């Protein structure tokens, strides 16, 4: 813990880690002790708080702590700590421990917006990320002194989840058999080192310089999936028609039309092990774009539409080996057989597009799909996988989609692994 106003939230993180089964050794900077008492952490962790290099009965506390840790979580990480750590300066027990460890490190920065956006802090963070330090990005919200902006410590529950994610060993690496029946893969952190390309938002197909043919997609589901993939360790390329808040480190490519979306996706698809086509790409676009604004006086124009390129099918046809391709199907199934309709649409789309997974939703149902913060989906896989997620937040839907992706990748890697002697007949 460092000395920032958010230090009080480290109490909840400490409790969450203990509840998750971690053995926690609390280390505080002198600054942190000005914000929260040591007794709270000692009691929660059942371990004395350590503050200094010099008072310990053990002679070299930082190396013992650094060498024995499976993970070091710094919450909150102050601008001072980030700068010292990036520069490799060991000036107290915390920075000495950070330099004396080979364990993964999870930084949870918190500070005023001006500090968070200061070029020195931005550079230091970039340097640390490059070295593989994990980061739970601060969020936008109320800050100390009543200010509002980015730099607020992430939710303690998200920090605990990120820590658990880093500590989780993928089942196949641990030599654990994959579950035989479909169930949550739930190995967050399982996508470390994977590049994922995600599309989000609805395309706009111009009629003239001011008007367009569009759809109601808000991009929220695509962004939630990008955030979930990033939280589980993936590098994200997000190709989007909309601008929503996004964590740093996610590469965003802005596009507007289906043609721009296609060019941006195809140019980057080769880099990606996972592609999630969550964008609502127009199926039709005006054949001709009027060079000048169409005048009202000229009467209603006749707009002739032509089909747009089928990006998902194009990706399905030229997929690189091992790539997991996920498509979305926004349908308006209705009536008593709505669920059956949705299922058959989804299966049809799996086949025609050559996708591994289709996430289908009935956008006519209340609270589902476009512009809502909630969604309800049916996920079907080419391997027979099926999961139905009733009305839930888009973040929860994103978790289910990424679980399905992780499962598909896991099964594929297992299938591609050479048989060992024992497995040979
Ligand atoms: C009331 C108060 C709140 C502070 N909040 C933060 C903060 O949220 N983030 C930050 O980086 N520094 C903050 N600071 C400044 C740090 O406390 C200061 O840079 C200190 O040297 C950090 O020391 P440490 O990193 O060793 O704990 C705050 C200072 C005060 C007085």
| Pocket-testing residue among 78, 83, 94, 139, ligand 1, by greatest number of atoms within 8 A of Cβ | 78
CA–CA distance, 331 with 339 (Å, rounded to integer): 11
- How many CA atoms lie less than 13 Å away from 96 in the CB half-sphere? 17
Predicted confidence at residue 121, as pLDDT, reads 94
pLDDT in tens, 320-338: 888 999 999 988 765 555 6
Residue 185 pLDDT level (bands cut at 50, 70, 90): very low
| C-alpha distance from residue 93 to each of 18, 47, 152, 310, 320 (Å) | 22, 16, 25, 57, 48
Q: What is the mean pLDDT of residues 201-208?
A: 96
Please state the rounded mean pLDDT for residues 10-24.
Answer: 93
Q: List, in sequence order, every beta strand (DSSP E) within 39-169.
A: 72-77, 105-109, 134-135, 139-142, 148-152
pLDDT of res. 336: 52
pLDDT tens per residue, range 148-159: 788 999 999 989
CA–centroid distance, 141 to ligand 1, in Å, is: 18
Q: Could you tell me the distance, in angstroms and rounded to a whole number, from the CA of residue 388 to the centre of ligand 1?
A: 46
389 lies in the same domain as 278: yes
pLDDT in tens, 226-254: 999 988 888 899 999 998 877 666 888 99
Q: State pLDDT tens for residues 78-120.
A: 999 999 999 999 999 999 999 999 999 999 999 999 999 999 9
417 conformational bin, left if phi > 0, alpha if psi -120 to 50, beta if neither: beta
Known active-site residue 375:
no
pLDDT at 424 over 80: no
Task: Report which ligand 1 atom has the smallest distance to the Cα of 31.
Answer: 27
Question: Ligand 1 centroid to 79 CA: how many Å?
Answer: 8
The answer on 205 and 163 residing in a single domain is no
CA of 9 to the centre of ligand 1 (A): 14
Q: Is the Cβ–Cβ distance between 379 and 358 less than 8 Å?
A: yes
Identify whether 263 is part of a domain.
Answer: yes
Nearest partner of 261 among 279, 234, 245, 247, judged by Cα: 279
Domain holding 159: CATH number?
3.40.50.1950
Residues in contact with 323: Cβ distance below 8 Å, sequence separation at least 6, in sequence order: 269, 272, 273, 274, 275
> Mind listing the pLDDT tens digit for each residue in 387-409?
999 999 999 999 999 999 999 99
Structural domain count of the chain: 2
Residue 93 shares a structural domain with residue 239: no
Report residues whose beta carbon is within 6 angstroms of any ligand 1 atom.
2-6, 29, 31-32, 78-81, 110-111, 115, 144
- Specify whether 223 is located in the same domain as 365: yes
DSSP state letters, 322-340: T-EEEEEEEE---STTHHH
- Specify whether 204 is located in the same domain as 329: yes
pTM: 0.54
Q: Are residues 154 and 217 in the same domain?
A: no
Residue 181 lies in a domain: no
List the 251-254 sheet strands across, edge first: 251-254, 235-240, 195-200, 274-277, 324-331, 357-362, 374-381, 386-393
Do residues 223 and 125 both lie within one domain?
no
Contact 258, 205 (CB under 8 A): yes
Give mean pLDDT, residues 177-198: 59
Q: Mean pLDDT over residues 167-183, rounded?
A: 41
* CA 3 to ligand 1: nearest atom: 27
Distance 3 CA to ligand 1 centre (A): 5
Is residue 154 domain-shared with residue 200, that is, in the same domain?
no
pLDDT 10s digits, 261-311: 999 999 999 889 999 999 999 999 999 999 999 999 999 999 999 999 999
**Diameter over CA atoms, the chain:** 89
Q: Which residues pair with 380 in a beta bridge?
A: 358, 386
Q: Between the CA of residue 372 and those of 91, 180, 198, 367, 376, what are the distances in Å?
A: 49, 35, 19, 6, 11
User: Can you tell me which atom of ligand 1 is nearest the CA of 81?
Assistant: 25
Q: What is the pLDDT of residue 340?
A: 66
102: containing domain? 5-167
Q: How far apart are CA 377 and CA 368, in angstroms?
A: 8
- For residues 16 and 102, membership in a common domain is answered with yes
Same domain, 330 and 259: yes
Choose the catalytic residue: 124, 215, 361, 375.
215
Q: Dihedral of the CA atoms 99, 100, 102, 105 (nearest 10)?
A: -50
Burial class (CB in 10 A: 0-12, 13-18, 19+), 21: exposed
**Ligand 1 atom closest to the CA of 77, numbered from 1:** 11
């Amino acid at each position: 813990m460092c000395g920032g106003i958010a230090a009080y939230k480290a109490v909840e993180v400490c409790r969450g880690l203990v509840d998750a089964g971690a053995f926690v050794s609390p280390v505080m900077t002198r600054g942190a002790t000005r914000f929260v008492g040591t007794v709270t952490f000692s009691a929660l962790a059942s371990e004395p708080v350590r503050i200094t290099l010099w008072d310990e009965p053990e002679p070299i506390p930082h190396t013992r702590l650094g060498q024995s840790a499976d993970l070091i979580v710094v919450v909150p990480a102050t601008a001072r700590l980030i700068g010292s750590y990036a520069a490799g300066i060991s000036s107290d027990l915390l920075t000495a421990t950070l330099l004396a460890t080979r364990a993964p490190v999870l930084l949870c920065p918190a500070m005023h917006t001006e500090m968070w956006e200061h070029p020195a802090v931005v550079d230091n963070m970039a340097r640390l990320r490059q070295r593989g330090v994990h980061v739970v990005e601060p969020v936008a919200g109320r800050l100390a002194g009543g200010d509002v902006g980015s730099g607020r410590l992430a939710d303690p529950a998200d920090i605990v989840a990120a820590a658990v994610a880093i500590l989780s060993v993928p089942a196949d690496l641990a030599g654990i058999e994959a579950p035989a029946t479909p169930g949550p893969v739930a190995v967050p952190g399982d996508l470390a080192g994977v590049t994922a390309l995600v599309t989000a938002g609805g395309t706009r197909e111009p009629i003239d310089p001011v008007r367009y043919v569009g759809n109601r997609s808000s991009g929220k589901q695509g962004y939630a999936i990008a955030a979930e993939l990033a939280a589980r360790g993936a590098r994200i390329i997000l190709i989007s028609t909309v601008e929503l808040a996004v964590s740093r480190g996610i590469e965003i490519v802005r596009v507007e039309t289906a043609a721009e979306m296609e060019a941006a996706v195809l140019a980057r698809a080769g880099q990606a092990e996972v592609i999630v086509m969550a964008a609502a790409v127009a199926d039709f676009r005006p054949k001709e774009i009027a060079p000048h604004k169409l005048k009202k006086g000229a009467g209603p124009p006749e707009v002739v539409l032509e089909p747009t390129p089928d990006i998902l099918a194009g990706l399905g046809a030229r997929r690189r080996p091992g790539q997991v391709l996920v498509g979305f199907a926004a349908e308006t199934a209705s009536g008593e057989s709505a669920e059956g309709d949705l299922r058959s649409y989804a299966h049809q789309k799996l086949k025609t597009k050559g996708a591994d997974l289709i996430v289908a939703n009935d956008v006519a149902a209340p609270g589902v799909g476009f512009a809502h913060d909630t969604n309800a989906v049916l996920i079907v896989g080419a391997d027979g996988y099926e999961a139905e997620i009733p009305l839930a937040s888009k973040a929860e839907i994103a978790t289910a989609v990424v679980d399905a992706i992780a499962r598909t990748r896991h099964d594929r890697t297992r299938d591609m692994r050479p048989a060992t002697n024992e497995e040979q007949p």
